[in-house]
Structure 1
Amino acid sequence: MKTVIPSISLIYCTFVTGICSEFSVTAYSKRLGRDVRSTQKLRGLRQCVRDCVDRGQCKAVNYDRESLQCQLLGDSITDLSQLMDDDSFNFIDVSTQSTGFPACTITCTYGVCVKISPGNEYCSVPACPMTYRYSTALNFCYTKVEVSKNFTDAYSYCKTIGCRLAVPSTMEHILFLREEFNAGYLDNDYRIGGQWDTEEGKWMWINGKTVFDDINLSLSDFEEIESSSGELIWSKEDDLSQIDTGHGKKFLCEKLAFCGEFSVTAYNKRLGRDVRSMLKLRGLRQCVRDCVDRGQCKAVNYDRESLQCQLLGDSTTDLSQLVDDEKFNFIHIASQGTMFWLKL
């Protein structure tokens, strides 16, 4: 006989609108012991549920209240007898959350519509599918394609799956890919979205930015890149290297957040004034979202070690005003070309 799921609701609010949404914990002190697709570290319960909603094939979560770990599940159940007893966990079946994600009046081609309030709706599109690899700190979501293609064909293929050729534009991205190689996920050299631009006379990313700007990446750090022609690859031997134009190569596709990509204004820097609020245990993406959700927040200092988020009432575009601090990234909100929540 199946156990009836109790209706136990948790409430969270957005600070801009003051509107509250609910979601229900399906079972306390229980977890589903199968089909764990991904484990996210240092998450609050609300962020855990959000992460599941943001990934198209996630159906439920196990939330570890003690370690603040979030297990994203590819399966779910309505029969609670299938759950395992575990005092550390709560289990949430995302598909049953009708109150948290009410019906909308708009149609979303690539995602699920979420109603915040009357006349205020947005499309929540999976930010990083569960079959992709994801770095929370970098907000970097990618997949490898184990078929060799030239630059043009690889570029087109990534576009057809809603991605772009990967742009690992900082040393932090390069080191993340190195960690992926060490973990056994990457096992080849892969084409990425950089090539020599004869008109500009420099290496350029496909997003129009310079590859080696001596801020994020320096050419002197990559000895294998010498000639002024060709295309860039991520190399398991040299991190970044080059190949001749026209050669086929396996490649990496990067999926950008549908409702906007943000860029870090300055790495290893922070603004030393006007800290309005300090939020604990935040990912970088959530830190920026929290700032966007607050009307008078103009920038954030993000502490990568403690995962603390400083919301700032002031900002600057003059980087000389920033304080050197290896733990922090600084993000100027007004310079972000697009917003996270697309209001239609």
Structure 2
Amino acid sequence: MIDTVHLRSHIKNNLPSIVHQLNSYLRGENVSDIEGILQRIGRGGRLPHWYDLLLTGQSMPNLDGKTIGSVIEMTLIGVLEKHTLSSFGIPHLVVNPAKGVDIPLLNLGVKSPSENFCTSEPFFSAYERVLGNESDAVILLTDYQTAKRNPPPVRIQIIKAAYLKGSEIADRNLCIIAKRNREPLYHQNEASCKKMLQFLCHVNQQDWRAKALLRLVYSLFDSDATLLDLLNDIEADFAKKLMADSRKGTEPLPQSELDKVLEIRGSNHKVSAIINACSDWVIDNHKDFARLPNDNEWYRFLRSDLDGRIGMSFALQWRYNFGNLFNALDLIPSLSTLDMQNLVELEDRDELF
């Protein structure tokens, strides 16, 4: 039986040498060494249409993301079979994204963002946003943005790389909020905890009410006095937005959006009131699309490390943003040092809907 955990660990530990060899092939060096592998995994058992270009160091026949991803994934298979895993006696590897993971035998994904740090992936469940993937992934950052400005031949190189376990392929900031509240909210009211998870996975931070509620969820178990101060800030923010919209000549937000948030003021049970307001937003904006977590998702949430390291937003497909990962690999603030204002500012930069 194949020990995929050991194989993935070996890949993780040897990632620098994997990238070195991958870049060598992408420069056209000794590509004939993996010709047989590329032919085997090519469509119809034929060499890929870009093979002759790769052989001469012109690694990209054109500069669309799908082609770049295909070249990198298939060439990576060559590296893993010919070099990294050659001594393990494993069956031939294949690339098969249709199965939900790029390299099924290893249960390993491959993502190749460029210097804008973003990729798009098929959407399966909104709960991936906090729970992450059920498979690990190798993240290979390419110099595509630079290469496309250079004259031919176009040569793509991997400039940074990271190995992420499945739970890390989730939204960093939303995971911080979920982890902050999971234990106390679960012990207080399991149904409310499920509603919080539902809101975090479906929230649209370009929506004013959603962002205001997210600020309240971050401070969910702070004192009532703190929450009242935050509600005052939110009311002031609404007034500023109305003035800004008036200056720009855009349609102002309806007063009802603020009223739905300020209803929390009159409640004697602020936690429940905030969660119910979040649930109302989900219903108002997503209707039947935004179901509560199923049993599997709920179990995964309760045992998850909630250690997401990237940005994730949804617009027909998942939009992954790896900027946090490659700009600050070991500089992610702890909960004790990350205040809500910083969190909101980070989301403003990370999220596009």
Q: What is the TM-score with the length of structure 1 in the denominator?
A: 0.27
**Structure number having the greater strand percentage:** 1
Q: Which is bigger in relative contact order (C-alpha 8 A, separation at least 6)?
A: 2
- TM-score, with normalisation over the residues of structure 2? 0.26
Q: Which one has the bigger helix percentage?
A: 2
